[in-house]
Chain A
Amino acid sequence: METFDKREERQTDLAKKNSLSDYFAQTYALSEIEFKKLFRDPTELFTRAVQPILWLTVFGQVMSKVKAVPTGEISYLAFMSPGILAQSILFSAIFFGIAIIWEKDLGVVHKLLVTPTARSALVLAKAVSSGFRGLVQAVIIFIVAYLMGVKLNFHPVHLLLVILSVFMGSAIFSTFSLIVACLVKTRERFMGIGQVLTMPLFFASNAIYPIEMMPKWLQVISQINPMSYLVDSLRALMLEGGVSHFGIGLDFSVMILIFGLMLFIASKLYAGIVQ
């Protein structure tokens, strides 16, 4: 039996194959929506800022007095500020999957998956949304660190690269979180796993102490931890006289590579969240 008038449809459709411009327009539309939602209810942004501020004002102050961590030319407070920014990016992005599970439980994800939008565009928009959040954290931490006397680098190129780095970090951890969400599918299971993941990612990194201080085995782990590259780039870019341990080029290459991988995996798994 003949189904529909296919040939004719096909011909007009040839020009309508999902083009790159569709891809960007759709990603943009989705990101725009996320942006709107974020600033419609900014309470979350501010409650998220409490923790990093406490780390800087309490932990940072005390550790500066103790002088237990050799940080070279720069003060301990300056040393840890980029680490705390990376930490707040990690902590807020790693629970991003909860929101996806919530949307799935509602049916919002079903509807998006049925539109002619590439899965990777749906994932990318989520990463961008997480990037916006990271940026707000960055602004807050810049202000607090500045008020506490940390010498920050306000060179426009540096600021631009900080923005890029914050976006990359947020994108990596939120997409990772999305992958976990697609695998575990329920909020209860996700909460447990989220808690288990954050601490190792944070402590097995150079966020609050230099890599050289760690035992050998931990050094190895922290060198394959994407968190270390985020911290390293921020430390070099944010601070007056900040230096990179790995090299900025390597930092960004590693982050872009990891994000690419995460994006690829997440795009494959995203549709499975409703199954």
Chain B
Amino acid sequence: MTPSLAIQTSNLTKKFGERTVVDHLNLSIEQGKIFGLLGPNGAGKSTTIKMLTTLLPPSEGRAHVAGFDVEDEAMDVRRKIGYVPQLVSSDGSLTAEENLLLSAKLYRIPSSERQLRIEEALAFMGLVGVRSKLVRTFSGGMIRRLELAQAVLHRPLVLFLDEPTIGLDPVARRTVWEKLKEMNKRFAMTILMTTHDMEEADFLCDELGILHQGVIAAIGGPDELKKQVGPEANLDDVFIHFSGATITESGNFGDVRQTRRTANRLG
């Protein structure tokens, strides 16, 4: 039996006006894997995730997620995936529990199971003590854990994470890593994540793709990629090697501002 694919894209392309941001992307990601999408600011990472999560219609090409077409079967895709965007997505004017309850209801988790799942999620993410606190009083690490809890409440087959640990302190970051590993193991959940943190990529990902100006410049396991670059190479070297060596004109003020804004809000 061929291993089934959680994500498959063929010539997936996104253009904004004249500008091609994602350029004929061909990706195959096996079920149960953690795949890291790396690349400089403005490389097209978030745009790729938005297309795969049905938020943005592709300009060209196709993508299948959990076996469903992101355009023609968007609702089916949505039932099978979880998503934590680059921005803060939990509602600050609600409590942790209310946020979870809303997710549970929108995913139509049967009412008999709802409370159990929410309790489990709160315990798993270490949020039991703050369940009735408004999320706007949370630290960045707590918000990220809540967002993860919300995103996996319905046991998605594929989880999309856009810079999951941005703006977190080293301890909070490590906690998120452990939770992700555990979820990946426990539910055989495929994870596609983006990150600028090479240590994170090294620790978490089974496979990496380096995106540069909308094109995959390299793909493979972390160790494989390091070997390609040199005997002593680390992932920083790999990143620099494949993403055009120096700080190029890629990325713009808007990208940086948006990233910062997220960091501020979380920090």
Q: Which residues does chain A contribute within 8 Å of B81, judged by CB atoms?
A: 114
Q: Which residues does chain B contribute within 8 Å of A65, judged by CB atoms?
A: none
Residue-by-residue, is B104-134 near A (CB-CB < 8 Å gives 1, otherwise 0)?
0111100000000000000000000000000
CA distance A17 to B73 in the complex (A): 11
**Which among B54, B85, B88, B107 has the highest number of chain A CB atoms within 10 Å?**
B85
Q: How far is the CB of A43 from chain B (nearest CB, A)?
A: 13
Of A2, A106, A116, A275, the residue contacting B79 (CB under 8 A) is A116
B4 located at the interface, meaning its Cβ lies under 8 Å from any Cβ of chain A in the complex: yes
**Which among B6, B50, B103, B105 has the highest number of chain A CB atoms within 10 Å?**
B105
Is the pair A25, B105 in contact by a Cβ cutoff of 8 Å? yes
If A3-B4, A116-B75, A274-B55 touch, whether A107 touches B106 (CB-CB below 8 Å) is no
A51 located at the interface, meaning its Cβ lies under 8 Å from any Cβ of chain B in the complex: no
A240 located at the interface, meaning its Cβ lies under 8 Å from any Cβ of chain B in the complex: no
Q: Which residues does chain A contribute within 8 Å of B93, judged by CB atoms?
A: 37, 40-41
Is the pair A5, B67 in contact by a Cβ cutoff of 8 Å? yes
Q: Which residues does chain B contribute within 8 Å of A16, judged by CB atoms?
A: 79
B228 located at the interface, meaning its Cβ lies under 8 Å from any Cβ of chain A in the complex: no
Residue-by-residue, is B48-67 near A (CB-CB < 8 Å gives 1, otherwise 0)?
00100111100000001011
CA distance A40 to B98 in the complex (A): 13
Is the pair A111, B79 in contact by a Cβ cutoff of 8 Å? no
- CB under 8 Å from chain A, chain B span 82-100: 83, 85-94, 98
Interface size class of A (residues with CB under 8 A): 35 or more
Q: Which residue of B lies closest to A29 (CB)?
A: B105
Is the pair B5, A3 in contact by a Cβ cutoff of 8 Å? yes
Residue-by-residue, is A94-116 near B (CB-CB < 8 Å gives 1, otherwise 0)?
00000000000111101111111
Is the pair A115, B87 in contact by a Cβ cutoff of 8 Å? no
Q: Which residues does chain A contribute within 8 Å of B67, judged by CB atoms?
A: 3-6, 9
Q: Which residue of B lies closest to A104 (CB)?
A: B87
If A5-B67, A36-B94, A40-B93 touch, whether A117 touches B4 (CB-CB below 8 Å) is no
Q: Which residues does chain B contribute within 8 Å of A110, judged by CB atoms?
A: 55, 83, 85, 87, 89
Q: Which residue of A lies closest to B57 (CB)?
A: A275
Q: Which residues does chain A contribute within 8 Å of B68, judged by CB atoms?
A: 6
Is the pair B85, A107 in contact by a Cβ cutoff of 8 Å? yes
If A25-B108, A37-B94, A114-B54 touch, whether A18 touches B75 (CB-CB below 8 Å) is yes
If A116-B79, A116-B107, A271-B55 touch, whether A3 touches B94 (CB-CB below 8 Å) is no
Q: Which residues does chain A contribute within 8 Å of B98, judged by CB atoms?
A: 33, 36
Is the pair B53, A114 in contact by a Cβ cutoff of 8 Å? yes
Q: Which residues does chain B contribute within 8 Å of A4, judged by CB atoms?
A: 4-6, 31, 64, 66-67
Given contact pairs A4-B5, A5-B67, A107-B87, a sample of 4 additional A-B residue pairs in the complex whose CB atoms are under 8 Å apart? A30-B106, A36-B94, A107-B85, A113-B55
Query: Could you pull out 8 A-B pairs where Cβ atoms are within 8 angstroms?
Result: A3-B8, A3-B67, A4-B66, A5-B4, A6-B67, A29-B102, A116-B107, A271-B55
For the complex of A and B, list the 9 residue pairs with the smallest distance between their C-beta atoms, beginning with the closest. Answer: A107-B87, A4-B67, A29-B105, A111-B89, A107-B89, A115-B106, A116-B78, A6-B67, A110-B85
